[in-house]
């Protein structure tokens, strides 16, 4: 089904691109037809790692008139197939301009393009406040999938006791998932350094049986999580 899948979280360092990369692996495994857009100019790791494995294209969201049409290809592609977009930190202002100036909520309904926001959080104060703002902007015009990144923290008490946030999540029928921790920082850093997809990492000569098993475990757990979401 056509659809626009945004992977973000506004705050830097919460694991946005890792979640996006895992979603790409999941869809590759399912042999789905999709397009990937990399919009993080400062650290385009999704493009760097998955440029050969997928139809990955570069684009940007900008508030400047000079770049007002640069992101059009993202929505245009979503009218035909699933589009996964890796977002940079602090993208909400230009993203709102893109949606508002093109009346995308209305256009999406006319063209049967659904919007999905994978909001990756580390459970911190700033992250939770940014999540509220995202929910208040997209309202019922998009399905929010809140990604509790267990690789950043296992303490989600602040998330649970935030009454205003919980009301918004319930009001807009948001989905909540727990994203597994990648065990082994050395393995993770090597995967990133060598620009390996997780599938290619299983064939990497620099990894032994334990390292490859950790990758298989992470891929299996993330796949199980995405299965529960039911939006792909």
Q: What is the pLDDT of residues 128-137, one digit of tens each?
A: 999 999 999 9
- Confidence at residue 156, expressed as pLDDT on a 0 to 100 scale: 97
Q: pTM higher than 0.75 for the full model? A: yes
pLDDT score of 189 more than 90: yes
Which run of H or of E encompasses 5? strand 3-8
Q: Which domains does the chain have, with CATH numbers?
A: 3-181 (3.40.50.300)
Average pLDDT over all residues of the chain: 95
Distance CA(59)–CA(71), nearest Å, equals 6
- Confidence at residue 95, expressed as pLDDT on a 0 to 100 scale: 96
- Confidence at residue 70, expressed as pLDDT on a 0 to 100 scale: 83
Which run of H or of E encompasses 37? strand 34-38
Cα-based torsion angle of the residue sequence 154, 155, 158, 161 in order, rounded to the nearest 10 degrees: 90
- Confidence at residue 148, expressed as pLDDT on a 0 to 100 scale: 98
Q: How far lies 150's CA from each of 15, 99, 180, 222, in Å?
A: 10, 31, 6, 12
Residue 180 is classified by DSSP as: P
pLDDT score of 1 more than 90: no
- Confidence at residue 64, expressed as pLDDT on a 0 to 100 scale: 73
Q: Convert the pLDDT of each residue in 66-107 to its tens digit.
A: 666 889 999 999 999 999 999 999 999 999 999 999 999 999
Q: Convert the pLDDT of each residue in 137-159 to its tens digit.
A: 999 999 999 999 999 999 999 99
């Amino acid at each position: 089904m056509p659809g626009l899948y945004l992977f973000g979280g506004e705050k830097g360092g919460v694991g946005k691109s890792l979640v996006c990369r895992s979603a790409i692996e999941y869809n590759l495994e399912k042999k789905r037809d999709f397009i990937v857009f990399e919009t993080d100019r400062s650290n385009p790791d999704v493009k760097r790692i998955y440029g050969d494995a997928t139809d990955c294209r570069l684009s940007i969201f900008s508030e400047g008139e000079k770049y007002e049409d640069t992101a059009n290809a993202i929505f245009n592609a979503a009218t035909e197939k699933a589009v996964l977009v890796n977002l940079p930190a602090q993208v909400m202002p230009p993203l709102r301009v893109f949606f508002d100036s093109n009346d995308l909520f209305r256009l999406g309904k006319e063209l049967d393009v659904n919007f999905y926001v994978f909001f990756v959080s580390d459970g911190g104060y700033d992250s939770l406040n940014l999540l509220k703002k995202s929910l208040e902007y997209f309202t019922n015009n998009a399905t929010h999938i809140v990604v509790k990144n267990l690789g950043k923290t296992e303490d989600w008490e602040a998330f649970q006791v935030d009454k205003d946030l919980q009301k918004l999540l319930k009001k807009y029928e948001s989905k909540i998932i727990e994203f597994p921790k990648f065990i082994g920082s050395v393995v993770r850093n090597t995967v990133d350094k060598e620009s390996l997809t997780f599938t290619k990492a299983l064939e990497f000569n620099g990894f032994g049986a334990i390292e490859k098993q950790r990758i298989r475990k992470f891929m299996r757990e993330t796949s199980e999580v995405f299965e529960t979401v039911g939006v792909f």
